[in-house]
Amino acid sequence: MRITVVGSGYVGLVAGACFADLGHGVVVVDNDHRKLIALRNGEVPIHEKFLPDLLSRYCGHRLTFAEDLKEAVRQSAAIFVAVGTPPTESGEADLSYVESVAREISGGIDSYKVIVEKSTVPVYTSDWIRKIILRNGTDPALVDVASNPEFLREGTAVTDFLFPDRIVIGCDGERPAAVLREIYAPMTGGSYYQRADSIPCPDRCKIPPPIIVTSTKSAELIKHASNAFLAMKISFINAVASVCESVGASVNQVVHGIGTDARIGPRFLNPGIGYGGSCFPKDIMAFRAVARECGYDFRLLDEVMRINEDQRQRFLRKVRSALWTVRGKRLGVLGLAFKGGTDDIRESPALFLVQALLQEGAKIVAYDPAAMDRAREVLGSNVTFVDSAYDAAHAADALLILTEWEEFANLDLNRLRSELKYPIVIDGRNLYDPEVMAAQGFTYFSVGRAASLPDGVPTSAVKNGKSA
């Protein structure tokens, strides 16, 4: 099938490449001329596993990049809208980009088309897209609007797309549903997974994935509700971690105890410095705004956001308690992206903490495997960027672990200790075992677990992460 994807951001570029891998002819449309030239030249603008392989494999024949949206629409049976929906000052989703695309799409409809929401949008957006298209003179018989929300995690977006837990298609008629079923047939029918050149299957995947057909409004709500629920799990376990620190319990043991309950599950029960990125913060505010418009005060979402913000402050207090004063201290920082596996720094709790520590007079030396170029644009010369975790630790008064990159969990502890001025590690991602760190000579602070001290240092020296 011939498909147009509007927008070459995280969602649009991954969707376009994956649709091409399924065997469709795809044109990705964007109005950023320089970005299109870079993509045509094989440059990959985001850090995403397997994406460079797919772009290299299909660019120029099965996957093309263009600026002319109307022409792309004329040649396509389905048009996926994957443009940004940033939050307004009130927290609502800014749908001006979606509206602009809808107006332009109307000029290219000369035969039956299915317009598919791929961006995360509030309920009723599909109705408005259809209204805008029809207001611009399109024959109602030639267009249907559907919702096909994405459930992609940055860093694993390609495998999340091709090996999803489920495929949700929201349609208000059988005709658009049939088009979307055909698009995903290589996955739901299983043929894609039988190919020798398919992307490797991750753990715990469902083959073939189930397809769930709903109304468009239900599909729009599914995406917001899913992200809100996952953010709630993160905030919940961070709140539990705070209680664990107060009473001397281990959050790891609590997570194991509740995560083995099939009704709860272990995923997204990882205590840390809070969620970030381009999805959870924005989508929770948008979902809250939708509920408010409907007359429902969704106060649970307010608390989810409050806990998330408080978790960053708690970590700052942990840093202060470990060092007494922050001003003038040299701090090694591992991680700037909002999570491991990506170079995205949007709403990154790591970046927030770095900026807060800079304001308190700390000297920051930072390393991230992928996000330093993007972070440099924000932090500039205020931070010293280095080429390895050990360079970040060199002569530092303490080392802060802020992003859960795999390489940060496998450091040579003897070398790390020798690089640090003082063997103090403050781990915001719980990558290490406190007992192991103490045995290796570190004073080690983490989240939801008691601070550990080197052998021979009395435990009374530290209580609940605070200097006694």
Just list the catalytic residues. Answer: 279
User: Mapping DSSP to helix (H, G, I), strand (E, B) and coil, where does residue 364 land?
Assistant: strand
* 387 touches 368 (CB < 8 A): no
CB atoms within 10 A of CB 350: 29
Q: What's the CA gap between 24 and 40, in Å, rounded?
A: 18
Lookup result for tokens 């909002």: 338
Cβ-Cβ contacts under 8 Å for 238 (sequence gap 6 or more): 271, 272, 274, 307, 308, 311, 447, 448
Beta strands in 44-166 (DSSP E): 63-66, 78-81, 113-117, 143-147
Show the CA angle centred on residue 456, arms to residues 455 and 459, nearest 5°: 85
Two structure tokens written together for 300: 């649970």
Structure tokens at 275: 């969620």
CA 434, CA 459: separation in Å to the nearest integer? 13
Measure the CA–CA gap between 353 and 359, rounded to whole angstroms.
10
DSSP strand pairing (462-463 vs 466-467): antiparallel
Query: Dihedral angle at the C-alpha atoms of 9, 368, 235, 158, nearest 10 degrees?
Result: 40
Q: Do 238 and 192 meet the contact criterion of CB atoms below 8 Å apart?
A: no
Write the DSSP assignment of 391-437 as a string of letters: HHHTT-SEEEE-S--GGGGG--HHHHHHHSSS-EEEETT--S-HHHH
**What tokens were used for 24?**
């469709």
Distance CA 391, CA 432 (A): 20
Residue type, 340: G
Residue 387 CB: number of other CB atoms within 10 A?
A: 9
